[in-house]
A and B are shown apart, each in its own frame.
Chain A
Amino acid sequence: MKREMKVFLLFLLTFGVLCMAGAAFAEDPVYGGILRWREINDPPKLDPAQATDTVSSRAIYLMFDSLVENDSDGKGVLPALAESWEGSEGGTVWTFKLRKGVRFHKECLGESTANGGREVTAQDWKYTFERMVRDNSPRAYFIEMIEGYQDFVSRDETGATEWSGIKVLDDYTLQFKLTYSFAPFVSVLAYNSFMVIPREDAEKWGKEFNFHPVGTGPFMLERWDHDQKVVLKKNPDYWRKDDKGNALPYLDGVELVVIPDNTIAYEEFKKGNLDAFQDFPDEFYVEAKATYGPLFQERPWVGTYYYGFNNSKEPFKGNRALRQAVNYAVDRERISDLVIEGRYPAGKGVLPPGMPGFNPDLKGYSYDPDKAKALLKEAGYPNGFECELQVNNNPRHKAVAEAIQAQLMELGIKLNIKVVDWGVHLDMCERAETQMFRMGWVVDYLDPDNFLYVLLHSSNHGSKGNYSFYSNPEVDALLAEARVETNWDKRIELYRKAEQLIVEDAPWVFLFHYSTSLLGQKWVKNMHLPAMGDYSTPLYNVWVTKK
């Protein structure tokens, strides 16, 4: 009896403590503290105009702002440095009203910046876009539909001194004139290259701006120890306020800690030396999910994982049956389930779920070794063939490749895996120097154009995105038509038609769609994984309860 009483009291006590803890959880945000975020490599670029990878973009999202930004569920764009915008003249003129009182960073690397923390105006935006063209930004072509782009690109011949389609109406009004109505124009502007930059600092540093980045974001660069960490500190003049009108960010700073090895990174996280661990590795997935429960966030990511065939070279060039045979020979569901913990759903086509226009009824390929055999025979390789698959050096990609290698072997297809570094891999794919290659594409702007046009239109062969050197005039025509179509339903119909044709042509082995993941410590509050991917997780409204 006494013992039962004790148990009851203990229960009450525990309950009480839990309630108090619950109350503590619900308490108001606290200021201060540093958040340590794990990175797998040193960010190659901190100049938004030059960055094309997710590691660079992580840092850029923390230091810079764009006109508009993606909402956290990937449903559309929200105002950022632009308060409002409207399209006119059939979607060929876009006028943006800028937010007032937004200031550039006062400090960079512990020194005063050249701009001195002045306010952002429309001139800065014009300068930013023109600078992208002047510095040959690899992403300037995303907005090639703004009038005068070609003239300004070849300004040496045309003598153009400005990008004529970008107009400053007054200090807080910016206007873009397009050569044709490009439906996703506003969402393209949320991409992380289109971030405003102060002219004074850009001109002071020139190409060195990459190492002295100055923006308007919640954090400013304090130190960059290459291959170790990027130290960012709070921007005291940040424009955003929380619901109660309090200044943001709550954190005193963010450290992007570079730890290339997954095992070491996870050990550091377990010891509490890291606060956030993004793109969580498969080998610790089961354990981490069980240990951390809701602190482990994971959601579908608008992206597609595929193996491209080199459609410009033998044996895949002009042999559709052969490409289809490989598609039928791969058991996507079971590879996902058995090799990568079921984290990437099997994919049928180009567009990932979550992308407008995603077609759940698309006719794709499922595992069918008999059909694969028949197609191999039709393709002229009844006993299989040998070919080389190039994969970039990453544990997950290697694991998937070894599984696919074994499955193709069942049909006599001998796949030789070649593992190379990311930079080399990208170069070789861009120059069509591989036979077959692994590639992935995650969303830049929420429009089917970002996948279908960029990756499969014949005008984008090579570095622009069509690494498989696929070309089909019928598909080209449909994609070009969809680009300028303003009726949304009609556009989607065009994209679906094009995607079905592409899937039948099988320029790729359609494999998976991505998921994105983020593990945070229990003392990190209000950190939410957005649909656009772990690297764009906002940290301006995150706080930590442990200092």
Chain B
Amino acid sequence: MTERTTPAASGGSLWFEAWLRFRRNRLAMIGLVMVITVILVAVLATWISPYDPLKQLIWTEGKAVRLASPSAKHWFGTDLYGRDILSRIIFGARISLQIGIFATLVSLVIGIPLGALAGYVGKWVDDLISWLVNVVFAFPFLLFVLAVVAVFKDPSLVVVYIAIGMVNWVSIARVVRAQFISLREREFVEAARALGMPSWRIIFVHILPNALAPVIVQATLGMGSIIMIEAGLAFLGFGAQPPTPSWGLMISEGQKYLGQGQWWWAIFPGLAIMYTVLAFNFLGDGLRDALDVRLKR
């Protein structure tokens, strides 16, 4: 076994090897394709959606388009206001992805520095941060997010990113901390220290790139649960506000009509959430298998 002296030199081959492993994993590839479709739908929403997602057709077309069942004109049917559900689901992909990405960014911005600090410095700093992480972990996730949203009083998407990020960072911080603890004793770090490099440079330039792989896995897996949380918040009336075509909000409005035979208002957005969450979970699992060297057979 050869020891790498500088991470950058052989970093390329590490990622390439991972990609080879990833390609061999069928579920992972399915996940990747699914994620790409969701992203494409979100990006191309304006061009591919058949109707304006906010347009209430009942005012011009009357009762015929009110809660209309799926048909050639409206593939996924319409809601109480005659809005096209397919178009709303297409635009809803934007909301879900947006929340997923920004909330993850917020958790990375908080989680990486704190995790790095705890892992690198150790001692009381580690105790303090780990204590904080455990405290946040001990709370039920959704309840904590609800509490944070409630503090802001003014429910908007930005508040939702921040709220989810403020709770979700702990899992990132844990991973980063564990990586730093194992990496800080390695020779290349000691060498950097011996050369008199400042700590911030050691942390960000030398250790962090080597700790990234598990963080990527954690962040990807987290996307799925964040999208679920957003849907749950919207369902409960927090987060996205009407007429935003948020999937969770659509389920919340449509579920009342489920028992009446008008199932399409709630079921289709439910399927959309399922598809997206599965996509990120498959992708995340695939990435973990590909990047985790310990699992190598």
- Partner-B contacts on A (CB < 8 A): 262-263, 266-267, 281, 283-284, 287, 331, 334, 338-339, 393, 395, 398-399, 401-403, 405-407, 409, 416-419
Contacts of B58 in A (CB 8 A): 338
CB distance from B156 to the nearest CB of A (A): 9
Contacts A287-B260, A406-B54 known; A331 to B59 CB distance under 8 Å?
A: yes
Once A283-B260, A406-B81 are accepted as A-B contacts, the answer to whether A416 and B241 lie under 8 Å apart by CB is yes
In the complex, what distance in Å separates the CA atom of A284 from the CA atom of B258? 10
Contact partners of A419 in chain B: CB under 8 A: 155, 237, 241-242
- Counting residue pairs across A and B whose Cβ atoms lie within 8 Å, the total is 57
A334–B66 CA distance with the chains assembled, in angstroms: 12
B235-248, CB under 8 A of A: which get 1 and which 0? 00100011100000
- Beyond A283-B256, A409-B54, 12 extra complex contacts between A and B, CB < 8 Å: A267-B259, A283-B257, A338-B62, A395-B253, A398-B253, A402-B243, A405-B243, A406-B55, A406-B81, A406-B243, A417-B243, A419-B155
28 A-B interface contacts by CB (under 8 A): A263-B255, A263-B256, A263-B258, A266-B259, A283-B256, A283-B257, A284-B259, A284-B260, A287-B260, A331-B59, A334-B59, A338-B66, A339-B81, A393-B237, A395-B256, A398-B242, A398-B253, A402-B242, A406-B54, A406-B59, A406-B81, A409-B54, A416-B241, A417-B241, A418-B154, A418-B155, A418-B241, A419-B241
Q: Which residues of the partner chain B approach A406 to less than 8 Å between Cβ atoms?
A: 54-56, 59, 81, 243
Which A residues are in CB contact (< 8 Å) with B241? 416-419
Number of B residues near A (Cβ < 8 Å) is 23
Interfacial chain B residues near A283, Cβ < 8 Å: 256-257, 260
Q: Enumerate chain B residues within 8 angstroms of A287, measured Cβ to Cβ.
A: 260
A403 surroundings in chain B (CB, below 8 A)? 56, 81
Report if B39 contacts A (CB, 8 A): no
* CB <8 Å contact, A405 and B242: yes
- A407 & B80 in contact (Cβ 8 Å cutoff): no
Alpha-carbon distance between A402 and B243 when the two chains are bound, in angstroms: 7
Q: Which 10 A-B pairs have the closest CB atoms?
A: A283-B256, A406-B56, A402-B242, A338-B58, A417-B242, A419-B237, A393-B237, A417-B241, A283-B257, A402-B243
B256 touches A262 (CB 8 A): yes
- Is B186 close to A, CB under 8 A? no
Binary contact track B262-275/A, C-beta < 8 Å → 1, others 0 = 00000000000000
A266 to B255, CA, bound (A): 13
Q: Which residues of B have CB within 8 Å of A402?
A: 81, 242-243
- Chain A's interface: helix, strand, loop or mixed, by majority? helix
Asked if B201 is at the interface (CB within 8 A of a chain A CB), the reply is no
Given the complex, which residues of A lie within 8 Å of B66, measured CB to CB?
338
Chain A residues with CB below 8 A from B258, complex form: 263
Interface membership of chain B positions 123-157, coded 1 if the CB is closer than 8 angstroms to chain A and 0 otherwise:
00000000000000000000000000000001100
Residue B4 CB within 8 A of the other chain: no
Complex CA distance for A284 and B260, rounded to whole angstroms: 7
Q: How far is the CB of A413 from chain B (nearest CB, A)?
A: 14
State the Cβ distance, A298 to closest chain B Cβ, in Å: 19
Within the complex, the shortest CB–CB distance from A341 to chain B, in Å, comes to 11
Tell me, yes or no, whether B63 is within 8 Å of chain A by CB. Answer: yes
Q: Which residues on the B side are within 8 Å of A399 (C-beta)?
A: 80, 253
B58: nearest residue on chain A (CB-CB)? A338
Chain A nearest CB from B183 CB (Å) reads 47
Complex CA gap A281/B259 in Å reads: 13
Q: Which residue of A lies closest to B63 (CB)?
A: A338
A267 CA / B253 CA spacing, docked (Å)? 18
Identify which of A283, A417, A419 gathers the most chain B CB atoms within 10 Å of its CB. Answer: A283
- Give A407 to B59 CA distance when docked, in angstroms: 9
Residues of B within 8 A of A405 (CB): 242-243
Closest B residue, CB atoms, query A424: B153
Q: CA A402 – CA B244 in complex, angstroms? A: 10
A344 to chain B, nearest CB (A): 16
Nearest residue (CB) in A for B62 is A338
- Cβ of A262: which chain B residues have Cβ within 8 Å of it? 256
CB <8 Å contact, B256 and A281 = yes
- Chain A residues within 8 Å of B253, by CB: 395, 398-399
How near does chain A come to B35, taking the closest CB pair, in angstroms? 31
- Residues of B contacting A416 in the complex (Cβ-Cβ under 8 angstroms): 241
Docked pose: A393 CA to B249 CA in angstroms: 13
For chain B residues 39-85, which have a beta carbon within 8 Å of chain A?
54-56, 58-59, 62-63, 66, 80-81
B250 CB to closest chain A CB (Å) equals 12
A263-B256, A401-B242 given; A339·B59 CB < 8 A? no
B155: A residues at CB distance < 8 A: 418-419
B134-184 CB contacts (< 8 Å) to partner A: 154-155
Once the chains are docked, how many angstroms separate the CA of A338 from the CA of B155? 28
CA of A339 to CA of B81 in the docked complex: distance in angstroms?
7
Contact partners of B242 in chain A: CB under 8 A = 398, 401-402, 405, 417, 419
B209-249 with Cβ < 8 A to chain A: 237, 241-243
CA–CA, A416 and B243, complex, Å:
9
Contacts of B80 in A (CB 8 A): 339, 399
Given the complex of chains A and B, what is the CA–CA distance between A263 and B251 in angstroms? 14
Chain B residues, Cβ within 8 Å of A266: 259
Most A C-beta atoms less than 10 A away, residue of B237, B242, B257: B242
For residue A334, which residues in chain B have a CB less than 8 angstroms away from its CB?
Answer: 59
| Chain A residue, CB-CB nearest to B261 | A287
Instruction: Give the distance in Å from the alpha carbon of A257 to the alpha carbon of B239 in the complex.
Output: 30
Query: Which residue from chain B places its CB closest to the CB of A416 in the assembled complex?
Result: B241
Q: In the complex, A75 Cα to B165 Cα: how many Å?
A: 59
A409 to B54, CA, bound (A): 10
Nearest Cβ distance between residue A11 and chain B, in whole angstroms? 34
- B274–chain A nearest beta-carbon distance, Å: 21
- Closest residue to B55 on the A side, CB-wise? A406
Q: Which residue of B lies closest to A421 (CB)?
A: B237
Across-interface contacts of A398 in B (CB, < 8 A): 242, 253
CB-CB < 8 A to B59: which residues of A? 331, 334, 338, 406-407
Q: How close is B67's CB to chain A, nearest CB, in angstroms?
A: 10
A395 to chain B, nearest CB (A): 6
Complex formed: what's the CA distance from A96 to B110 in Å?
71
Tell me, in angstroms, the Cα distance from A393 to B241 when the chains sit together.
12
Min CB distance, A424 to chain B, in Å?
8
Q: How far is the CB of B6 from chain A (nearest CB, A)?
A: 53
CB distance from A477 to the nearest CB of B (A): 39
- A26 to B: closest C-beta gap in Å: 36
Give complex CA distance A409, B55 in Å. Answer: 10
